[in-house]
């Protein structure tokens, strides 16, 4: 096997990976970015509405308000000191992106333009605030392009279309990763002092998802298989507005610009579920409302979808009702200018023109709040006490800091990846200066190579595509927006049956080496099955409802027993693993504790876990 030696190996070339690459190389490290996609194909590029930062360019705003919204949005499971760092660092990170040339839209004062987004408020929930810095409705695209361009400028090493399939652990620290060069099918060893996982989420566990086909959770599954825990896996966000049946995301920015959700009797139903924030309540709240409306027989044509209406006459009517300034009223050109990609998606895929017709939307599996546990410097931690695994880093969706807690706020994924990609990159540059190379084990890569050989020889009757579809259907049905003991039990059983077929009855048509996507998709399915399994199991064990985890049989949040992060470990053979979940990792409540120490009366404590009201 060819061996490549670099100080820092970064796995994944989305926002978190590229940010880490830039800052690690600026810090003097020799960096290699190893990615299964060309960097510009990464899923960061599909993020639409904006990146939150309390710049206050249009409304009065402060980082502490952003911290509060993040903690509240996360249903108090977010680590409060981490949320504070997120909100504070967001401002410098966004300004730095502008300095790198990111083409944000501008205000009349020539500053970065900002828009409203779900759950983002001023003065601890007082009113919605314009905080999401945007470049039309393609903010993620601009971030990804800008970071890739800066990496070209800084001559970062890229290994494009090298898919990482294993990590090399030597005496409890990480000595690098094993990757397959897709174009040749050859295995390569990347020997590094540090390895940084920025490999994205696993929305492809579900059948209706906004996620790219490539979001198969490779990094998280690799970590799990190598004995690392995954944190808070029961929390997976369903975004309320995916295009009906297709799952393609319709940005919350639509509602930020005044769009409203309407049921089959023409009612703006969010007024009942969230009297203050209405359509811009947090995503878990809105997704549940859509399901509840559907159950009450109020979905459009009885088919489980709602209308998202951003027609100027509708928006302006509600603006008038709310007593908004006439200057805020919109016309067709506002919609065209601010939401061009959304219009394009609807016109292309639905033949629906949102300027003249409402869009059919339903909740779509969108974002993993859980993942590889890290501290605020993106260092991977492996137990409830926060012990760091030397040489291991993670950031972005694949990681769990935790800043999103039980439910992520819109725009905070982009904030997360720039803030913690940046912090991790800096930390890693420091780290690699101070350590020696861990020697590579002689047989590095042998185990995973034989696993691939096993898959390639698959001569059974179960196609990966069929197994994947069955997994996605059972996850959607049983481990979706609402869960009960019964559905979770069923989900776990279905997954066990699929795992059995995956290991004993797989059919692989393509036996060749060059760009074998049949083989790679099968291996990715194995990753998805593991992640689906730990999601269902932690969901089954957490007997409360919090944020995106909604148990109908335990429908209240229970801070007394469950205000804790979960850590789940996989043991035994991959074909028949056992799992061990612990719910003893403390949630950081330091901001609340400070308030208590200052002697603030309860009513004035902003960070005390209370019931969420939007």
Partner 1 sequence: MDVTFKIRRQNPDVRDLEKPYWQEFVLNDVDPTDRVLEMLHRIKWEQDGSLSLRRSCAHGVCGSDAMRINGVNRLACKILIRDVGERVQVEPILGLPVVKDLIVDMTPFFDHYKQVMPFFVNDDPLPEDGRERLQTQADREQFDDTTKCILCACCTTSCPSFWANGHYVGPAAIVGAHRFIFDSRDQAGAERLDILSEPNGVWRCRTIFNCTPACPRDIEVTKAIGEVKLAIRKGTNVGIIETSAIH
Known catalytic residues? 283
Burial of 200 (0-12, 13-18, 19+ CB in 10 A): buried
In degrees, rounded to 5, the angle at the alpha carbon of residue 94 between the alpha carbons of residues 93 and 95 is: 90
User: x/- string (CB under 8 A) for partner 1, residues 380-419?
Assistant: ----------------------------------------
- Output the smallest distance, CB 453 to partner 1, in A: 16
Q: Is 23 in the site for partner 1 (CB under 8 A)?
A: no
Q: Is 464 in the site for partner 1 (CB under 8 A)?
A: yes
Burial of 501 (0-12, 13-18, 19+ CB in 10 A): middle
Q: Which stretch binds partner 1 (CB under 8 A): 163-171, 396-404, 512-520, 596-604?
A: 512-520
DSSP state at residue 526: H
Nearer to partner 1 among residue 152 and residue 320 (C-beta): 152
65-94 residues in contact with partner 1 (CB under 8 A) are: none
Q: Is 422 in the site for partner 1 (CB under 8 A)?
A: no
DSSP state at residue 531: H
- Inter-residue contact 551 to 542 (CB < 8 Å): yes
- Output the smallest distance, CB 474 to partner 1, in A: 18
- Output the smallest distance, CB 431 to partner 1, in A: 28
Q: Is 40 in the site for partner 1 (CB under 8 A)?
A: yes
User: x/- string (CB under 8 A) for partner 1, residues 154-173?
Assistant: ------x-------------
Q: How many helices (H) and strands (E) does the chain have?
A: 18, 22
CB contact set of 323 (below 8 Å; sequence gap of 6+): none
Distance CA 9, CA 3 (A): 13
- Output the smallest distance, CB 60 to partner 1, in A: 16
With CB under 8 A as the contact rule, the residue among 35, 80, 114, 145 that binds partner 1 is 145
DSSP of 285-308, one letter per residue? HHHHHHHHHHHTT-SBTTTTBEEE
Q: Which stretch binds partner 1 (CB under 8 A): 17-25, 39-47, 80-88, 472-480?
A: 39-47
With CB under 8 A as the contact rule, the residue among 4, 59, 64, 105 that binds partner 1 is 105
Distance CA 65, CA 87 (A): 9
- Output the smallest distance, CB 36 to partner 1, in A: 9
With CB under 8 A as the contact rule, the residue among 65, 345, 452, 614 that binds partner 1 is 345
Element (H or E) spanning 433, and its range?
helix 412-434
Nearer to partner 1 among residue 187 and residue 235 (C-beta): 187
With CB under 8 A as the contact rule, the residue among 507, 600, 608, 609 that binds partner 1 is 507
- Report the C-alpha dihedral over residues 310, 311, 316, 318, rounded to 10 degrees: -50
- Output the smallest distance, CB 239 to partner 1, in A: 14
C-beta neighbour count of 14 within 10 angstroms: 31
- Nearest CA to 441 out of 191, 258, 613, 158 is that of 191
Q: Is 138 in the site for partner 1 (CB under 8 A)?
A: yes
- Inter-residue contact 106 to 112 (CB < 8 Å): yes
C-beta neighbour count of 163 within 10 angstroms: 21
Q: Is 329 in the site for partner 1 (CB under 8 A)?
A: no
Q: Is 150 in the site for partner 1 (CB under 8 A)?
A: yes
With CB under 8 A as the contact rule, the residue among 28, 101, 275, 297 that binds partner 1 is 101
With CB under 8 A as the contact rule, the residue among 1, 3, 28, 38 that binds partner 1 is 38
- Inter-residue contact 555 to 545 (CB < 8 Å): yes
Burial of 516 (0-12, 13-18, 19+ CB in 10 A): buried
DSSP of 76-133, one letter per residue? T-S-HHHHHHHHHHHHHHHHHHHHTT----B-TTSSBPEEEEEEEEETTTTEEEEEEE
Q: Is 457 in the site for partner 1 (CB under 8 A)?
A: no
- Output the smallest distance, CB 578 to partner 1, in A: 31
Q: Is 319 in the site for partner 1 (CB under 8 A)?
A: no
Q: Is 337 in the site for partner 1 (CB under 8 A)?
A: yes
Nearer to partner 1 among residue 45 and residue 125 (C-beta): 45
With CB under 8 A as the contact rule, the residue among 510, 541, 559, 593 that binds partner 1 is 510
- Output the smallest distance, CB 472 to partner 1, in A: 12
Nearer to partner 1 among residue 121 and residue 210 (C-beta): 210
With CB under 8 A as the contact rule, the residue among 67, 516, 535, 566 that binds partner 1 is 516
- The strands making up 306-309's β-sheet, listed across from edge to edge, are 236-243, 359-368, 306-309, 260-262
With CB under 8 A as the contact rule, the residue among 64, 170, 212, 574 that binds partner 1 is 212
Q: Is 460 in the site for partner 1 (CB under 8 A)?
A: no
With CB under 8 A as the contact rule, the residue among 25, 114, 121, 146 that binds partner 1 is 146
C-beta neighbour count of 466 within 10 angstroms: 13
Q: Is 37 in the site for partner 1 (CB under 8 A)?
A: yes
Coil, helix or strand at residue 189: strand
- Inter-residue contact 394 to 11 (CB < 8 Å): no
- Inter-residue contact 360 to 307 (CB < 8 Å): yes
Q: Is 508 in the site for partner 1 (CB under 8 A)?
A: yes
Give the interface with partner 1 as residue ranges (CB under 8 A): 37-38, 40-43, 45-46, 55, 95, 98-101, 103-108, 110-113, 135-136, 138, 141-142, 145-146, 149-150, 152-153, 160, 183, 185, 212-214, 246, 248, 333-334, 337, 341, 344-345, 348-351, 463-466, 469, 507-510, 512-518
């Amino acid at each position: 096997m060819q061996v490549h030696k670099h100080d820092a190996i970064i796995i994944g070339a989305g926002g978190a990976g590229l940010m880490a690459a830039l800052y690690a190389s600026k810090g003097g490290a020799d960096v290699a970015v190893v990615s299964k996609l060309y960097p510009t194909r990464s899923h960061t590029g599909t993020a639409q509405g904006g990146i939150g930062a309390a710049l206050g360019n249009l409304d009065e705003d402060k980082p502490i308000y952003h911290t509060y919204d993040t903690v509240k949005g996360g249903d108090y499971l977010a680590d409060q000191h981490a949320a504070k760092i997120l909100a504070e660092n967001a401002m410098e990170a966004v300004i730095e992106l502008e300095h790198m040339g990111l083409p944000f839209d501008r205000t009349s004062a020539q500053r970065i333009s900002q828009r409203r987004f779900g759950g983002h408020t001023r003065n601890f929930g007082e009113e919605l605030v314009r905080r999401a810095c945007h470049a039309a409705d393609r903010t993620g695209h601009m971030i990804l392009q800008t970071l890739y361009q800066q990496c070209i400028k800084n001559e970062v090493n890229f290994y494009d279309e090298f898919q990482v399939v294993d990590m090399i652990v030597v005496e409890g620290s990480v000595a690098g990763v094993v990757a397959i060069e897709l174009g040749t099918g050859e295995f390569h060893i990347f020997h590094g002092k540090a390895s940084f996982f920025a490999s994205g989420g696993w929305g492809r566990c579900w059948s209706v998802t906004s996620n790219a086909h490539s979001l198969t959770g490779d990094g998280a599954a690799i970590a799990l298989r190598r004995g690392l825990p995954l944190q808070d896996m029961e929390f997976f966000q369903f975004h309320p507005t995916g295009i009906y049946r297709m799952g393609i995301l319709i940005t919350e920015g639509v509602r930020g610009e005044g769009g409203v959700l309407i049921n089959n009797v023409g009612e703006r139903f969010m007024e009942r579920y969230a009297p203050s924030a209405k359509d811009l309540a947090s995503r878990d709240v809105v997704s549940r409302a859509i399901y509840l409306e559907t159950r009450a027989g109020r979905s459009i044509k009885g088919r489980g979808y709602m209308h998202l209406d951003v027609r100027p006459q509708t928006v302006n009517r509600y603006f008038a009702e709310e007593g908004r300034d006439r200057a805020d009223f919109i016309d067709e050109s506002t919609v065209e200018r601010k939401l061009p990609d959304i219009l394009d998606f609807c016109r292309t895929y639905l033949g629906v023109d949102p300027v003249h017709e409402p869009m059919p939307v339903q909740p779509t599996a969108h974002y993993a709040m859980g993942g590889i546990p890290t501290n605020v410097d993106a260092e991977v931690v492996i137990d409830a006490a926060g012990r760091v695994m030397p040489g291991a880093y993670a950031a972005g969706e694949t990681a769990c800091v935790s800043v999103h807690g039980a439910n992520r706020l819109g725009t905070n994924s982009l904030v997360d990846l720039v803030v913690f990609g940046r912090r991790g990159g800096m930390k890693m540059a420091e780290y690699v200066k101070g350590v020696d190379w861990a020697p590579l084990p002689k047989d590095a890569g042998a185990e995973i190579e034989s696993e691939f050989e096993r898959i390639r020889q698959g001569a059974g009757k179960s196609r990966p595509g069929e197994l994947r579809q069955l997994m996605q259907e059972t996850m959607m049905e049983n481990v979706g927006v609402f869960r009960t003991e019964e559905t979770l039990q069923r989900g776990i059983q279905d997954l066990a049956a699929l795992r059995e077929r995956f290991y004993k009855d797989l059919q692989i048509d393509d036996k060749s080496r060059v760009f074998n996507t049949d083989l790679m998709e099968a291996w990715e399915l194995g990753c998805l099955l593991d992640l689906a399994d730990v999601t269902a199991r932690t969901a089954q064990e957490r007997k409360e409802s919090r944020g995106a985890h909604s148990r109908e049989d335990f429908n209240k949040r229970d801070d007394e027993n469950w205000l804790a992060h979960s850590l789940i470990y996989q043991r035994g053979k991959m074909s028949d693993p056992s799992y061990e979940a612990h719910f003893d990792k403390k949630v950081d409540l330091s901001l609340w504790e400070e308030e208590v120490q200052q002697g603030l009366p309860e009513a004035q404590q902003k960070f005390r876990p209370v019931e969420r009201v939007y």
